[in-house]
Structure 1
Amino acid sequence: MSIEWVNRAIDDLRAWGRAHGREVDADEARLLCDYASDYLDVNELGDFTSVTFEELLLNIYPRKVIAPPESAPETVAAARTLVDFLLETEEIGGKMAARMRATLDRIEPEMPAALADTSRFGMAKSLFSAMGADSLDAGEDSPPAEDAQEGEYCECPGCSPLPPVRLASREALAEAALRVPLLTDARRLVQWMLAGGRTPTRKGALRVRDAAEANAQLAVGDPAFLWDLAVHTGLVETEGAAVFDGDDPDPLEVWAATVRFAVEKDTGGAFSGDRLVDEELYTLLDLFYRVQAPVPVPVVREYLEDEIGLADEGAELDLEEVGRRLAYCGLLSRGEGTLELTPLAVWGLHELYDVFGIDAPEAPDLAAADATGLIEGLLAGVLPDVAESDIAGWLSRRSPAEAAAELLGAVSGAPAVARGIAVTIVDRLGAEAEESVRGFLEDAELRPHAVHWLSARGLAAPTLTPDEVLWMSVDMLALALPAAEEDPEAFAENMAASGPPSHVIEEMWRVDHPDAVDVLELLGRSLPDQNAAKAARKAAFKARSRAIG
């Protein structure tokens, strides 16, 4: 990115700023120069034009840079400073500077919307936005440095912290490893070689005539690659031209060796069907590992064609074939328009990171935790499918009465979000949990939820007082606070459809709830009904005054 001319330009810009008493945002200016160089063929300061700034700020930045919309003025200010510098150092003339300034004036009000438009995001920005902006601080991921020693790892971007992953059981993984089509074909080739008394070359490679016969008789593609894989993964043992049929190796050891072979050896495209994709296979699989979710095929295409340089090579990418080949190899699974790592690939990469000396945390099995551990684990952030599996597994180990007692007991006096998770899980339980739920009618915070649970099942329940109903309204909204901060538009839509009426909101300030002010402020910002929003803001003011008093 930061090539020699950019380094010189930033040094000169800093010196110019000091000499003229100007504040210079050197980091932002460097980013402008870097992206201009990488994507717009700007090779020196004099190559900047008004079109360069328009492309940078309304096209490149929205696609590449993780930045909140409110950061746009800082970027435009840095661009204006750069224009002043270009003019005073005579890199551009007065007419060009005037055109640049007019362009920046036009861009400034448009740029925040461009930065916020997710449809413009590029592959890296989309992926790392899903993981958190901190992950992008160092740029795109890289495979292990060639000079890294065993047990060590360089400080390249690929060393940024890995997310915890849930690994399948070894039994399930071993069974899956035995069914990987790639390895099944490799085993068939080995048995064919042994049955026919065939021998490899003195260097252990498959002979050309044997490769041709294997292709015809076994209907396998690239027998030479399959033999090489079999040798490297321990499916067959060779010494010179001799072949030994040893004990069946552990299928997971074979799979771990397969993953390492895939990312370390130059196979000329034998894994993915594309040489350039194979060269960047570690980077691609590492990104899938970090995202931990199916990735839309168009997003994968953009990454392969742009981020790792396929577009620069002028290569035509058959992504359908790449996906099919990597599925055949057991590395990716294909969904409806998506690709994701197989559980085997997740396990294989987890093992590989350990070999490289990278900390690859394993997410705990929440189904085996106690109620507190389950709730804390779910609060820490778990993919929806995994959370559903954890909850179902946790409930399967307990009777409904035991589950209700443990969950509600774990959140007595806890924050609203934790209480909400417990109540949501208890809501799945049937009338068998009645006695346990009824036991929490004396808990002031859980009582409204217990009454609601009993009433919903037609069981005898006390009547909530108006104050308790109001408290429960605040409590239920407090559960939505984290999600509302993440997706305010979705929260506003939900409130428009089923939010509390103005006369209820007006009374919420009276509720003795620790989240009352936050809830009312959120409603004041989010409610599309202006009268309801105004009522929420007035109630929030009263609630703050009440807390101070």
Structure 2
Amino acid sequence: MSAESHPTLPPVRLHSDAELARDALGAPLFARAVRLARWAGPDTRVGIGGELVAAQLPEAAAVLGLDAADAESAGHASRAWRVAVDTGLVDVTEPEEGDGEQFGTAAPGEDLALVTRGAPGDVLDLWLAALDTVLADAAVPDLDGLVDALDAGGEIDFDRLDWNPGREADFLDEVLANLYLLTVSEGGAADGPVPLPVLAASMVVPDGMGDPTDAVLEQVSDAMMRLDDQFRQLEPIGLVEFRPVDQELMAEAADEEATAGGSAGRDGGDARDGRGAGDARDDEDVSRYGMVRLTPLGLYGVRARMLEAGVDAPAVGELAGKGADALLDAVALYSEGAAQAEIEQWLAGRELPAAAAELLAAARGDDEGGPLRRLRCQQALVSAGPEAEPAVRSVLDDPELGGLARVWLAERGLRDVPAPDPEMVFWLTVDTIAAQLAADGETQGLPLLMETLTAHHAGFFDQVWRVEHPATAHVLEAMGRMHPDRKAAKEARKAAFKARSRRP
């Protein structure tokens, strides 16, 4: 999983370990692996590699409640057995060459006891090991052409097969990383499913590309069908909920392409508008092209793999035991909703007066991150409620926090709130706009905020450039670009020049 592609991600809200462990035990493939581990015994015969011998598969399928005579059931039993062996739920002794033994033996492994007597974390560790096995299997392509890819010595010619195991595994990891990012991003998929063509396009269509070419659309189509096969394999382990591609739809698309003499070539569709294979201009139900979403267990699993790869993938609640300085530094980079959730967990269980004082102390600073820390501190104090009042009043004379304190007290209609002096008003204005710029950039709502903050101060730009705030010039330059009043914008640009000139 590429740490370079996603160096820092938005925080994810995970279910508790107990809930996730229950989900893991309920995942069909993992549950089957546990049942086969309990079934393993002296009469269980395995071959080289620890796989069940063919003669044992019907009995294993019957143990799983499957039709013992069905070939597909034998495949389910074989996959479940492989998961059981790879996770340590089953211990196998393989036959050794030259010892005269045709078969090895199997028995329940020590780790099987963790399923019923282990902590939730133990169960999740077993499930993660099972996930590794399933992902490795899913990265193996359809080997229908395997016989044709054998060389004269009976070895697989990977060049002829056009399969690079490392490349395939990296592709699947990157797909899951993209799906994770779509899920946790503000305004992203959240708990909703992602259309398979959109996910495929995220892997194929170059950033900034306009209308995709026919060649790119063909690549999207190929990637979509590849993912359709892979997600079918990943669903039984509980990683995803998946609605496969409607095969009738694909057959219809193939017929249309044949009728058109191969001119269509657009099975993948234009993922930018959420449609999939076929003509992106029609109103076909996008769900027919496949829909996928990470389950809560899947979010946990993908995040665990990303952390192992060195990706910064935070989870809401991780900062609950850390100091206010660590909290404000971290949530400064979060969306407002994620920051609020993290703040609420940090405050839970703390003595609120002391917590408020700690937050205010951590909000100080004239560094570049100071304005956004103070914005998040103000957000945290809202959650702290009236118990924060003594701590807030204690900073009324603080040059960096006094304005914030007055706003907080006034919003609650509290008495005895001293009026700020002009210098504090201008400083707070600069700090507020600097925080908004750092949090969201030059958003559509920022010009209105600028207009509101400057409308009640005659000669605002004649005075604000003198404010001793490290972001004064930066804020004035932004106001010069964004202020809705043309005259005010011009005055802001002049004030920005003066602010730049006075600083060494």
Residues 205, 313 of structure 1: CA spacing in aligned structure 2 closer, same or farther, 3 A cutoff?
A: farther
In terms of fraction of residues, the more helix-rich structure is 1
Partner of 1:210: 59
Query: CA–CA distance in 2 between the matches of 1:334 and 1:546?
Result: 61
Deviations 1:372-415 (A, max 9, x none): 12112223x34666534421121113232112111112223443
After TM superposition, list the pairs within 5 Å mapping 1:139-288 onto structure 2.
Answer: 158=2, 160=4, 163=7, 174-191=21-38, 193-194=39-40, 199-203=44-48, 204-207=51-54, 208-210=57-59, 213=62, 214=64, 215-216=66-67, 222-239=76-93, 240-247=103-110, 248=112, 250=114, 251-265=123-137, 280-286=168-174, 288=176
Structure 1 letter corresponding to 2:225 = L
- Name the CA distance, whole Å, in 1 between partners of 2:378 and 2:328: 11
Q: Which residue of structure 2 aligns with residue 311 of structure 1? A: 219
Of 302, 309, 313 in structure 2, the residue corresponding to residue 346 of structure 1 is: 302
Corresponding position of 1:451 = 406
Deviations 1:314-333, CA, capped at 9 Å, x for gaps: 57718567546534323346
Percent identity (aligned): 28
- The alignment's C-alpha RMSD in Å is 4.3
TM-score of the pair, normalised by structure 1: 0.57
Q: 8 Å contact 2:451–2:484 — kept in the other structure?
A: no
Name 1:374's counterpart in structure 2: 327
Asked whether 1:434 is paired with 2:434, we answer: no
Residue 488 (structure 2) aligned to one of 515, 523, 532: 532
C-alpha distance in 2, partners of 1:309/1:294? Answer: 21
Describe the shift of the 1:404–1:305 C-alpha distance in structure 2 as closer, same or farther (beyond 3 A): closer
| Larger RCO (alpha carbons 8 Å, 6+ apart) | 2
Residues 26-37 of structure 1 aligned to structure 2 (within 5 Å): none
Measured in 2, the distance between the counterparts of 1:267 and 1:546 equals 61
Relative distance call for 1:249 and 1:515 in structure 2 (3 A) is: same
Letter paired with 2:59:
D
Q: Deviations over 1:515-538 (max 9, x none)?
A: 222111111012243222112112
**Alpha-carbon separation, structure 2, partners of 1:543 and 1:361:** 37
Q: Distance in 2 between matches of 1:447 and 1:511?
A: 15
Query: Which residue identity is paired with 2:305?
Result: L
Match of 1:500 in 2: 454
Q: Secondary structure at the match of 1:216?
A: coil
The alpha-carbon distance between structure 1 residues 468 and 350, as it changes in their structure 2 partners (threshold 3 A), is: closer
**Deviations 1:477-522, CA, capped at 9 Å, x for gaps:** 12123245xx435455654885633846434224333322211111
Q: Deviation at 1:438? A: 0.6
The change in CA–CA distance for 1:304 and 1:456 in structure 2 (over 3 A counts) is closer
Provide Cα deviations, 1:448-496, integer angstroms capped at 9, x if missing partner.
1111111111111112234433332222112123245xx4354556548
Contact (CA 8 Å) 1:164, 1:360: kept in 2 or not? yes
Classify 1:246/1:288 alpha carbon distance in 2 versus 1 (closer, same or farther; 3 Å).
Answer: closer
> Pairwise mapping of residues 512-531 of structure 1 onto structure 2 (< 5 A)?
512-531=468-487
Contact 1:437 1:450 in 2 (8 A): yes
Select between 397-406 and 176-185 the one with higher mean Cα deviation.
176-185
Query: Match for 2:354: what amino acid?
Result: E
Count of aligned residue pairs for this structure pair = 378
- Please give the alpha-carbon distance, in whole angstroms, between the structure 1 residues aligned to 2:451 and 2:465: 22
| TM norm structure 2 | 0.62
CA contact (8 A) 2:24 2:124 kept: yes
Any gaps of 5 or more consecutive residues in structure 1? 1-140, 142-157
Counterpart CA distance in 2 for 1:334 and 1:497 is: 48
- Give the match for residue 347 of structure 2: 395
Q: Which amino acid aligns with 2:330?
A: G
Q: Which runs of 5+ in 2 are unaligned?
A: 94-102, 115-122, 143-160, 184-193, 207-215, 244-286
SS at match of 2:92: strand
